[in-house]
Amino acid sequence: MLFSNPQSNSWLVNKLLKLKQVVFPLIKLRLQNGETARFWSDNWTPFGDLHTHLSGTNSRLGIPLHATVASLYRNGTWSLPPARSEAQIELYVYLTTVELNSSQDYYEWEINGQVQTTYRTGRLYDYLCALKPDVVWYDAVWISRAIPRHSFHTWLVIQDRLPTRDRLLKWGLQLEGRCLLCNSNPESRDHLFFSCNYSYDLWAMVARRLQLVPYRHWPITIQQLIALPPPASQRILTRLAWQATLYWLWTERNTRLHTQMFRSVDQIFKLLDRQLKNKLQSFRDTNPTRSSIMMQSWFRFG
């Protein structure tokens, strides 16, 4: 069999072979002439892997390993050994409904009983990982028309997966543990957003534009962003600005770490303000009314 020797295969091929049992149910062979349909190794019946269904791991019931379905069908009848188990009877009953023709066999993707006309990574991911209920902070992170890197960064922040200094110290790295923004308190996710005086000053400037009460405590801030009231345009604007604040604070933190360059809160706010303005203007092509409302809201108290 092709790729049968693990030692001669590449690492990638061996990894794919290990996924065979996971992928097997998704690749359905649609039986036509049966000439390319392998009796034992293709997924051509409702019973899945016939080795398992017929207990054929140690005994192939007289059917060769590489036998095709067509090779077992002669003159309109099936040439198969007598049934000795309920599983064989089930297969033979199914075969009474099968008639081979002159068309070519073909494969289809089938996920949860639905044929897929195109391959979609997202749908396959949902199948493999199983659907789970949305987390409570989902709407605050994955915003429609958001800046992708901001949303991803926010997801990292909420999951507490940023390499903050408290985490690096836990990993055993020898380094200074103080916050790079205020240089006074230990650096952690909750400190950076927004217990730190520097970060809180920036968030307060942004919140003032949004007519929002700024909080220093991370859990309270998260609850605030989750429970934002209507209208939708103001809710989207607030979450966009909040994500931008998280992103620019982390950018400033890394800039200080790697280049020893320090910017004031006002300088960071100007960068954030310009980026947010450009993003709001990009809505104009698809939703000019919403774009205007959000722009007015952002600059009303500027």
* Residues 167 and 243 occupy one common structural domain: yes
- Token pair for residue 206? 């942004």
Query: Phi then psi for 242, rounded to 5 degrees?
Result: -65, -45
* Residues 170 and 213 occupy one common structural domain: yes
Q: Is this model's pTM higher than 0.95 or not?
A: no
User: By C-alpha distance, which of 164, 154, 159 is closest to 243?
Assistant: 154
* Residues 46 and 145 occupy one common structural domain: no
* Residues 172 and 197 occupy one common structural domain: yes
Cα 182 to Cα 272: distance, rounded to the nearest angstrom: 20
In a domain, 196, yes or no: yes
Q: Would you give per-residue pLDDT tens digits along the chain (302 residues)?
A: 444 556 677 888 787 778 878 888 888 999 999 999 999 889 999 998 888 888 754 567 788 888 999 998 888 888 888 888 888 899 999 998 988 999 999 999 888 888 888 888 888 888 888 777 889 999 999 998 899 999 999 999 999 999 999 999 999 999 999 999 999 999 999 999 999 999 999 999 999 999 999 999 999 999 999 999 999 889 999 999 999 999 999 999 999 999 999 999 999 999 999 999 999 888 877 778 777 887 888 877 56
Q: For residue 37, with 0-12 CB atoms within 10 Å meaning exposed, 13-18 middle and 19 or more buried, which class applies?
A: buried
Q: What is the dihedral of CA 74, 76, 82, 88, to 10 degrees?
A: 110
* Residues 288 and 184 occupy one common structural domain: yes
Q: DSSP states of the chain as a string? A: -TT--GGGS-HHHHHHHHTHHHHGGGEEEE-SS-SS-BTTTS--STT--HHHHTT-SS--TT--TT-BSGGGEETTEE--PPP-SHHHHHHHHHHTT----SSPPEEEEEETTEEESS--HHHHHHHHH---PPPTTHHHHS-TT--HHHHHHHHHHHTT-S--HHHHHHTT-----B-TTTSSSBP-HHIIIIISHHHHHHHHHHHHHHT----S-HHHHHHHHHTPPSPHHHHHHHHHHHHHHHHHHHHHHHHHHHH-----HHHHHHHHHHHHHHHHHHGGGT-HHHHHHHHHHHHTT-
* Angle at alpha carbon of residue 174, lines to 171 and 177, rounded to 5°: 85
**In terms of residue numbers, what domain contains 215?**
138-299
Domain boundary, last residue among 97, 129, 161: 129
Domain boundary, last residue among 104, 129, 154: 129
* Residues 48 and 165 occupy one common structural domain: no
In a domain, 1, yes or no: no
pLDDT, residue 56, reads: 53
In a domain, 217, yes or no: yes
Angstrom CA distances, 260 to 253, 266, 284, stand at 10, 18, 39
* Residues 12 and 120 occupy one common structural domain: yes
* Residues 49 and 75 occupy one common structural domain: yes
In a domain, 101, yes or no: yes
In a domain, 181, yes or no: yes
User: By C-alpha distance, which of 193, 196, 141, 136 is closest to 162?
Assistant: 193
* Residues 122 and 255 occupy one common structural domain: no
* Residues 50 and 148 occupy one common structural domain: no
pLDDT, residue 164, reads: 97
Query: Phi then psi for 108, rounded to 5 degrees?
Result: -140, 150
Cα 98 to Cα 96: distance, rounded to the nearest angstrom: 6
* Residues 145 and 108 occupy one common structural domain: no
Domain boundary, last residue among 129, 159, 177: 129
In a domain, 62, yes or no: yes
Number of domains in the chain: 2
* Residues 110 and 174 occupy one common structural domain: no
